[in-house]
Amino acid sequence: MHIDVNNAFLSWYAIWRLDNGEEIDIREIPAIIGGDESKRAGIVLAKSNLAKQFGIVTGETIYQAKKKCPNIQVFRGNYNLYREYSDKLYKLLLEYTDKIERYSIDECFLDMTEYLMKSTLMDKAKEIRKRVNEELGFTVNIGLSSNKLLAKMASDFEKPNKIHTLYLNEIEEKMWPLPIRELFMLGRKTVPKLYNMNIKTIGDLAKIDKKQLISKFGKHGKMMWEYANGIDDSEVVYKHEEPKSIGNSTTLAKDINNIDALNEILLALSEHVAYRLRKHDMVANVINVGLRTNEFKDFSHQSKLDSPTASTKQIYLKAKELLKFMHKGEPIRLVALRADKLINKDETQISLFNTQEKERQEKLDKALDELKQKYGYSSITRAGKLGIDKNINFK
């Protein structure tokens, strides 16, 4: 996935103002985010849709913007505020994958290869888009593909608040007709040179002899040709940090008030959280379960485990216990599970109790993890299609 916040600087500042008692949403008036407006050289960093209708463009001076719209409202940029909202988005996305590349303050790449949990990439994208809007108050565009380049190109299609795919079999229809200037990583100085070669669309570039491009542009020519043909082998570059917590949540397709059905969902979440804990060689001391009702009321409860663990069974049993305590029969639309107070598994003390059972569970978890690593996360699961495998005792 590539996730790009729509009109980030203006949206984030608008949300902050509303949260602090302002009544006017600056996204709905002619407004811009820029530098010091007392300086003629102050630049427009972001603009509302109404400002855009006056012909105001990002990158022009505030002086020029005011000539186009004398009543335009100008607000100073606030990097610390942007970082705060960027971090909120990052924290939400960590519930879906540990592999996140923060490409800029308002966009990132997500490697979802091992984190779909029986869902499709489109299902997860819809859930993320909805949660960002409902929980954080802004919108995002999401691009889906099999590599970073195509995901990035897809997220730049129609905006705002859209999800687009651009897989290899869609390149000819969706990407090749685009003007050459829209190809990712193509510099402004390169476009006129390509025009002189009668290359005006991405499709024109894709069909030209690669050797001709290399001869004229060197390594950059090779990259341009590969990008035009959807070729990109770059990895999602993420920080290998020890997480402070690991969680996951799911927005339900329909409201559920049946405790058994909610337990099945908790099992799927427990399996995923435990799998990620083991990948990090970490164990949890505390389990937290969160619920959102159909009336958007959020509540959560946490409890300390008897001993630190990354066992799917132990995490599920604790989560099930918390759910029983919390749930009073109300319809639920979102279920969340989080493992907290994490430590490295080597720091745990050896327990004299239940050692044989613990070893059996660890061997089972390890065997299933190896199968998932080899054949993909969804290749085998104790949660089935959110049903319980009766051969494994979770009662």
Q: Which residues are catalytic?
A: 107
Q: What gap in Å lies between CA 98 and CA 114, rounded to an integer?
A: 10
In single-letter form, the type of residue at position 50 comes to L
The backbone torsions φ and ψ at residue 384, rounded to the nearest 5 degrees and listed phi first, read: 55, -135
Cβ proximity of 270 and 348 under 8 Å: no
**Helices 259-279/355-375 angle, 10° precision:** 80
Signed CA dihedral, 252, 253, 254, 259: sign only: negative
What's the CA dihedral at 196, 197, 200, 201 to 10 degrees?
A: -160
Q: For the chain, what's the residue count?
A: 395
Closest CA to 56 of 24, 29, 31, 39: 31
Q: What type of residue sits at position 167?
A: Y
271, 386 Cβ separation under 8 angstroms: no
Give the rounded distance of the alpha carbon of 279 from its chain centre: 20
Residues 6+ apart with CB under 8 A from 325: 301
Residue 13 neighbours by CB under 8 Å, 6+ apart? 26, 33, 75, 78, 81
Q: Where are the beta strands (DSSP E) in the chain?
A: 2-5, 31-34, 44-47, 73-76, 100-104, 107-110, 140-144, 163-165, 246-256, 282-293, 298-309, 332-340, 343-344
CA distance 153 to 179: 13
Q: Which pairing describes strands 31-34 and 73-76: parallel, antiparallel, or unpaired? A: parallel
